[in-house]
Chains A and B, each alone.
Chain A
């Protein structure tokens, strides 16, 4: 097990190198450059030339990439082109916001999705089954953008239950330590801020969770249906076990393998969805930051941001593989 994890961690490096090369090439092959966008209509050729020189954009591509790698090896992510801030600091400020949002959305989609899936599978072709699968279809097809606005109109503007956007209300003070607001509020024993931050998290998290919830629900349902037809379930029932025990102890555990894979993959979907969710809900996270960077061709932000997300993805996949073994001891990781 230990060797397996170590090997997977070692694979991380070539993966990231590959990602960095692809991203770097894609960036420099797409038209448009940051200097032109930074200066806009008033750009003069001299000013452009000076800025390109300053940013190192006029050097050969290979040299630029080499420089980027060299810095990376020294754990120096460089400086952003637009805000002239260390990329590492920008990430530290924004990443926690995205993680807070994604984890909340993941929790919602796992619990909701698995529960809906189980109930649908055990009551196949019932009204509940039809309704929940219809809901899942709608959830997958609904544009996040539109859904977010509808939630806002209903729950914030009309009912007044939840705040519209942002992470914290104006006037609520919070001493920021980790930039995970919920955690910071707990660390500083600030219950008012905790409640406020939690309230702000609900709408964006629910919006972001709709697609993964739908996918997890459908996946759980079909996996459960398959398992429930197996002989050992019949045996378990024949033994006189309670339906609860049959479903949760015998069926669910075996049905979970494909579900866990799906959930792991959903994390990528979440990060992608985070771009839209963060924009609508004015959530100051990585998604919105990366999106702006692409529009502004802030190479440093895009390069480092994609590396970060790719790295995260690899780590989550690793976690999923390890989870297989935990859920089903018959699978051994080597």
Chain B
């Protein structure tokens, strides 16, 4: 009896501790976010860079949201949606009682306006009185690169809270696209007041409202007190995004407590942060892939699978991840990150083995590399999210190739030229490094846009494979998620067998922050969400 009582008491105490550890969020305070650069612009339809999107992530909202820590979708400004059996009509029921920061009510017309202004042919219908949509300032880059004009036929507001999208083709990733930044819903009245200035005066429905922007210095947001979702934040009174270009200086600002979160620290500073009692680290595997591609427009790369495999086994990828990514990376097994559905655990990890590489090289018809001229290995001149130092990686790869008898040299160009010439697939390019950061969390956004060369001549790896192409087409036209996942698993296996590119690594994002910053989570899409963040006093 006594023992039971003691046990009960212990349990109650333990529960009490557990509850007090899960402290309730405290409202108030100003959070300063230290970042590497300023935003380019704040109109979600036209931006292409992370520093611009992170403001939009807090000021604007889209019809569908990505869940807190994954790329699964959940209702956002749309409460629910239905897809017609033929997959060509999407009907969204919108949330009621939402207003933009300028007081404009959120409704179906605002959705039609926000997306209609990005269409090339504006087949849109407003409900009741709509607006004249002004001409585009420039091409809405994401709308175009997500092929929305090829997908969307018309957008109609059926009543005040219902929007219907009619599609030209079945496009499974369409829904995921609507969660992206470019698909954010803006206040039409704020936009029409001065279309040229909206890029510097954004008005949305998000948890924070825009206050001011001092160029190259700071952007100030404040709490949206009328925010529609009463279940959580915003808790912070203000969020200030400060641009501090130099990594080490940004870290010093964190160390002295002038900023709360330090984006993109130097790897050495991460070690310092681990030892600092005032700091903690938050990590998230990035939704990206860095790869080594072959020039598939020329021989021997085009048809010699054995040769491609030989090179894959010759490169010590782990050494690259350990030494050049400095631990901020994950060895790649698939060509999509492991956080994404469709990832295939069954695909073997490419083994580093000089013997195996030599054997394959002999089978390929180039024993000890004999018969191969000196090959070029193009390497990026700049740091990218998926590869911190392209040139160093290139040098390491050249050394690895020499061990199996392949002579190679690193070639690099200024970044714009690199991108341009790479797309042209010139004969002086044999191997090239490149990579990708995902947009919408859909595997199609990696596997099709990167490797399905048969789909378009604009695909950067011009690998032509009928079976793969057919898988990609099927993946787009199937709406059942389980079936789609299966298709992409097959595609990942096919990529391993055919080795059109060698997956190297997915980078990991690790940011130090002050311990008093609570509930800040890094999102796989790299969006920065301040909604549920709060400061411990």
Main DSSP-derived SS at the B contact region = mixed
Q: Select A156's contact among B37, B138, B200, B252, beta carbons within 8 Å.
A: B252
Contact bitstring A251-289, B, C-beta under 8 A = 1, else 0: 000000000000000000000000000011110110011
State the CA gap A153–B246 with chains docked (Å). 14
Q: How many A-B residue pairs have CB under 8 A?
A: 133
Q: Which residues of A contact B435 (CB under 8 A)?
A: 41
Measured CB to CB, the closest approach of chain B to A293, in angstroms, equals 12
Q: Are B144 and A282 in contact (CB under 8 A)?
A: no
B-side interface residues, number (CB < 8 Å): 51
Q: Are B243 and A94 in contact (CB under 8 A)?
A: no
- B3 at interface by CB-CB < 8 Å: no
Q: Are A54 and B414 in contact (CB under 8 A)?
A: no
Q: Are A284 and B217 in contact (CB under 8 A)?
A: yes
Contact bitstring B322-365, A, C-beta under 8 A = 1, else 0: 00000000000000000000000000000000000000000000
- A15 at interface by CB-CB < 8 Å: no
For window 137-159 of chain A, which residues contact chain B by CB distance below 8 Å? 149, 152-153, 156-157
Q: Are A46 and B416 in contact (CB under 8 A)?
A: no
Q: Are A50 and B139 in contact (CB under 8 A)?
A: yes
User: Contacts A47-B141, A47-B145, A149-B249; is A31 near B434 (CB within 8 Å)?
Assistant: no
Q: Select B458's contact among A37, A44, A54, beta carbons within 8 Å.
A: A44
Find the A residue at minimum CB distance from B424. Answer: A45
Q: Which residues of B contact A196 (CB under 8 A)?
A: none
- A90 at interface by CB-CB < 8 Å: yes
- B209 at interface by CB-CB < 8 Å: no
State the CA gap A289–B214 with chains docked (Å). 13
User: Contacts A47-B139, A93-B215, A149-B249; is A36 near B242 (CB within 8 Å)?
Assistant: no
Find the A residue at minimum CB distance from B243. Answer: A282
- B298 at interface by CB-CB < 8 Å: no
State the CA gap A289–B245 with chains docked (Å). 12
Q: Which residues of A contact B449 (CB under 8 A)?
A: 42
Q: Are A36 and B244 in contact (CB under 8 A)?
A: no
- B72 at interface by CB-CB < 8 Å: no
Q: Which residues of A contact B138 (CB under 8 A)?
A: 51, 54, 84
Q: Are A51 and B249 in contact (CB under 8 A)?
A: no
Measured CB to CB, the closest approach of chain A to B323, in angstroms, equals 25
Q: Which residues of A contact B217 (CB under 8 A)?
A: 166-167, 282, 284
Q: Select A39's contact among B141, B248, B434, beta carbons within 8 Å.
A: B141
State the CA gap A152–B414 with chains docked (Å). 33
Which residue, A40, A46, A50, A167, has most C-beta atoms of chain B within 10 A? A40
- B306 at interface by CB-CB < 8 Å: no
State the CA gap A46–B458 with chains docked (Å). 9
Which residue, B30, B240, B423, B434, has most C-beta atoms of chain A within 10 A? B423
For window 79-104 of chain A, which residues contact chain B by CB distance below 8 Å? 82-85, 90, 93-94
Q: Which residues of B contact A297 (CB under 8 A)?
A: 416
State the CA gap A82–B40 with chains docked (Å). 6
- B460 at interface by CB-CB < 8 Å: yes
State the CA gap A32–B244 with chains docked (Å). 27
Find the B residue at minimum CB distance from A179. Answer: B214
Q: Which residues of B contact A30 (CB under 8 A)?
A: 414
User: Contacts A40-B48, A164-B258; is A288 near B245 (CB within 8 Å)?
Assistant: yes
Which residue, A34, A37, A157, has most C-beta atoms of chain B within 10 A? A37
Q: Which residues of A contact B414 (CB under 8 A)?
A: 30-32
Q: Select B253's contact among A33, A34, A45, A164, beta carbons within 8 Å.
A: A164
- A306 at interface by CB-CB < 8 Å: no
Q: Which residues of B contact A93 (CB under 8 A)?
A: 214-215
- A165 at interface by CB-CB < 8 Å: yes
- A315 at interface by CB-CB < 8 Å: no
Which residue, B32, B249, B420, has most C-beta atoms of chain A within 10 A? B249
Q: Select B258's contact among A39, A46, A170, A176, beta carbons within 8 Å.
A: A170
Q: Are B253 and A280 in contact (CB under 8 A)?
A: no
State the CA gap A38–B138 with chains docked (Å). 12
Q: Which residues of A contact B243 (CB under 8 A)?
A: 282, 284
Q: Which residues of B contact A288 (CB under 8 A)?
A: 216, 245
Write 28 A-B pairs (CB below 8 A) sorted by A numbering.
A30-B414, A31-B416, A36-B417, A36-B420, A39-B48, A39-B141, A41-B434, A42-B145, A47-B141, A54-B138, A84-B41, A84-B137, A85-B200, A90-B215, A93-B215, A149-B248, A152-B249, A166-B217, A166-B218, A166-B242, A170-B30, A170-B218, A282-B244, A282-B246, A282-B249, A284-B216, A288-B245, A292-B37
Closest 10 CB pairs of A and B: A32-B416, A284-B216, A36-B416, A284-B217, A31-B417, A282-B244, A44-B458, A50-B139, A37-B416, A32-B414
Give B residues with C-beta under 8 Å from A.
Answer: 30, 32, 37, 40-41, 46, 48, 137-139, 141, 144-145, 199-200, 214-218, 240, 242-246, 248-249, 252-253, 255-256, 258, 413-417, 419-420, 423, 434-437, 439, 449, 456-458, 460
Q: 6 more A-B contacts (CB under 8 A) besides A33-B420, A43-B419, A166-B218?
A: A42-B449, A45-B458, A83-B41, A84-B138, A170-B218, A282-B243
